[in-house]
A and B are shown apart, each in its own frame.
Chain A
Amino acid sequence: MAVHTLWRDTQPSGPLKVRLGGEMALRNLGQQAQPIPTPLKLSASSQAVSMPSGRAWPALAAQPGRVLGRLELALTFSGLGLSVFMVMHLGLLFSVLLGTWAMDGLAGFLERYYLLHIGGSFLLLFLVGHVFVASRKVPTAFGRQRALLHHMRSINHMDTWTWLFQGLSGVALLALAAIHLWVIATDLPIEAAKSGARVFQTYLWFYVPLVLLVEGHISIGLARAAAKWGLLSRPVAHRALLAWTAVVLGLGFAILVTLYRLGGTL
């Protein structure tokens, strides 16, 4: 079975047909077939707007690339923005560890000065933007998904597996975050007692996967972003994010336990 799959993957349409021939490459460049120029073909007249191959480089040709470049930046900045939001969100919940008064006070303060509404709007904006630019990277066609999974199982490489988690957790988060936001937004104001009751009554088994998925998605996403823009080397990025994950998961579950207990005492 596996052998057949592999064979089909490595086999072009006809045995003797040269895969990825020059023709295909030149189609990619939007060009007609031209021989590879030798230095002898250089001429002074090629100075103006053309390369030695005689090809013109119209500025317009650069346009799709410019859009893609901006989308790439938008992906990282939206991920970063969402991560910052999640840190602030953690700050709000962290206050419940100090006591209900702290969380109620903080939530009241945020609401009085409309900071909650501003934050919420930014969150929605970033979330929609992030989903929009991230989904471009996710293979949706069955053939591509199958090829990727086959490859992942074969190569068994950590940063390749984590990307699968990134995609799957992202899709799951889309659903979970929407539910969570709806539940909170329709039950304002935010109060520790109400949150506790929610966690105690129905939502514990909703929040446990939500916390795990958000934290995993952020950690892996930030590590990946740092590596892909060359801000940190991968070993450093991995270690930094592992430490961060431990702290945030610890806090996250401490908060959940506190809310659960609070809900139980009501």
Chain B
Amino acid sequence: MDKRTLTFRIFRHNPFDPVSVPRLQEFRVEETPRMTLYTALTRIREEMDPSLQFDFVCRSAVCGSCAMLVNGRPRLACRTRTEPLPDKVTLLPLPFFRLVGDLSVDTGTWFRDMGRRVESWVHQHRAFEPGAEEERMSNEQAQAIYELDRCIECGCCVAACGMAQMSPDFLGSAGMLRIARFLVDPRDHRPEEAVFEVIGTEEGVFGCIGLLACDDFCPKDLPLASRLAYLRRRLALAAMRPSPSTTTGPVPVR
């Protein structure tokens, strides 16, 4: 097969530079066997323009730092091969997140904030006893937690979500998944109302309109659609029960 020359149209802008104007810049790169966008971008930075900003750490779909819009769709650049792509590829930074420069966005701040909003830590209403033996957890339970803990926080789901583009406060399915992760954790004792207060809102599951692009574009194939459905069922059922009384204290989740 003939070698292709790929044309990359890459978003360039430095928001910290007052004279910088957002624009698309073209780079031509000869395709090599098994080339990924990571390889191509590195070639561009090393051989053509050292000022090009983009993020990489692991190069193997583990760290979640390289997500960007490839021809309009969110993908991890490090695991996107150039081979199935057309000759012209447009690379844009992920929408929704704060732009750091060129293709680099700050997903960390949003995810940290999301973690705070959903209180992404184990809630117990018992005092910690340092001397007590650790409680055991079945292998299935541990695996169920792990399955929902595989999120690499790349931001593809939020960038793929139509609702998130309209409402910056939307928790996104990453946030919903995080709550779902604590609901399967037997160590977590947050009361049903706590779950309700955080995601039983228009920024949570009841704001979701079910486009489910999050599920289709998650590079880790997390069960986003099924967990969203689970939370929706659970919260809707809870909404049909009479409201809990204030005097009895926390209602255990299960």
* Residues of chain A having any CB pair with chain B under 8 Å: 3-4, 6-7, 9-12, 15-16, 18-22, 24-26, 28-29, 36-37, 39-40, 42-44, 46-49, 51-53, 57-73, 137, 139, 144, 147-148, 150-157, 159-160, 163, 224, 227-230, 233-234
Q: Which residue of A lies closest to B191 (CB)?
A: A57
B126 touches A42 (CB 8 A): yes
Closest Cβ of chain B to A264, distance in Å, is 44
Closest Cβ of chain A to B131, distance in Å, is 15
Contacts of A43 in B (CB 8 A): 127
Instruction: Tally chain B residues at the interface, Cβ within 8 Å.
Output: 81
A229 touches B238 (CB 8 A): no
User: When A and B form their complex, which 3 residue pairs have the shortest distance between CB atoms, in order from nearest?
Assistant: A69-B239, A230-B229, A65-B200
Closest Cβ of chain A to B242, distance in Å, is 9
Contacts of B52 in A (CB 8 A): none
**For chain B residues 52-85, which have a beta carbon within 8 Å of chain A?**
69, 72-74
Instruction: Verify if B27 is at the interface (C-beta below 8 Å from A).
Output: no
**For chain B residues 86-118, which have a beta carbon within 8 Å of chain A?**
92-99, 105, 109-110, 113-114, 116-117
Selected from A44, A52, A58, A65, the residue in CB contact (under 8 A) with B123 is A52
Contacts of A10 in B (CB 8 A): 93-99, 105
Tell me the dominant secondary structure on chain A's binding face: helix
Instruction: Verify if B121 is at the interface (C-beta below 8 Å from A).
Output: yes
**For chain B residues 219-249, which have a beta carbon within 8 Å of chain A?**
225-226, 228-230, 232-233, 235-236, 238-240, 243-246, 249
Selected from A25, A68, A156, A159, the residue in CB contact (under 8 A) with B117 is A25
Closest Cβ of chain B to A59, distance in Å, is 5
Q: Which residue of B lies closest to A16 (CB)?
A: B16
B190 touches A51 (CB 8 A): yes
**For chain B residues 186-217, which have a beta carbon within 8 Å of chain A?**
190-191, 193-194, 196-198, 200-203, 206, 208-213, 215-217
Q: Assuming A15-B15, A29-B198, A234-B212, is B229 touching A229 (CB within 8 A)?
A: yes
Contacts of A58 in B (CB 8 A): 246
Counting chain B CB atoms within 10 Å of each CB, the highest count among A53, A69, A73, A157 belongs to A69
Contacts of A155 in B (CB 8 A): 72-74, 160, 162, 213, 217
Instruction: Compute the total of residue contacts between A and B using a CB distance below 8 Å.
Output: 222
Contacts of A49 in B (CB 8 A): 246, 249-250
Q: Assuming A29-B117, A148-B166, A227-B229, is B96 touching A68 (CB within 8 A)?
A: no
A163 touches B243 (CB 8 A): no
A160 touches B203 (CB 8 A): no
B99 touches A11 (CB 8 A): yes
B166 touches A65 (CB 8 A): no
Contacts of B119 in A (CB 8 A): 51, 53
B197 touches A144 (CB 8 A): no
B233 touches A20 (CB 8 A): no
A229 touches B239 (CB 8 A): no
Q: Assuming A4-B22, A21-B109, A157-B216, is B244 touching A62 (CB within 8 A)?
A: yes
Closest Cβ of chain B to A52, distance in Å, is 6
Selected from B16, B123, B168, the residue in CB contact (under 8 A) with A20 is B168
Q: Which residue of A lies closest to B192 (CB)?
A: A62
Bound-complex Cα distance A20 to B170 (A): 11
Instruction: Verify if B165 is at the interface (C-beta below 8 Å from A).
Output: yes
B244 touches A59 (CB 8 A): yes
Bound-complex Cα distance A29 to B94 (A): 27
Bound-complex Cα distance A70 to B168 (A): 24
Contacts of B217 in A (CB 8 A): 155, 157
A139 touches B13 (CB 8 A): no
A65 touches B201 (CB 8 A): yes
Bound-complex Cα distance A262 to B233 (A): 48
Contacts of A60 in B (CB 8 A): 246
Contacts of A64 in B (CB 8 A): 200-201
Selected from A53, A61, A148, A154, the residue in CB contact (under 8 A) with B72 is A154
Closest Cβ of chain B to A224, distance in Å, is 5
Closest Cβ of chain B to A48, distance in Å, is 5
Closest Cβ of chain A to B163, distance in Å, is 8
Bound-complex Cα distance A160 to B164 (A): 13
Q: Which residue of B lies closest to A158 (CB)?
A: B216
Bound-complex Cα distance A188 to B2 (A): 72
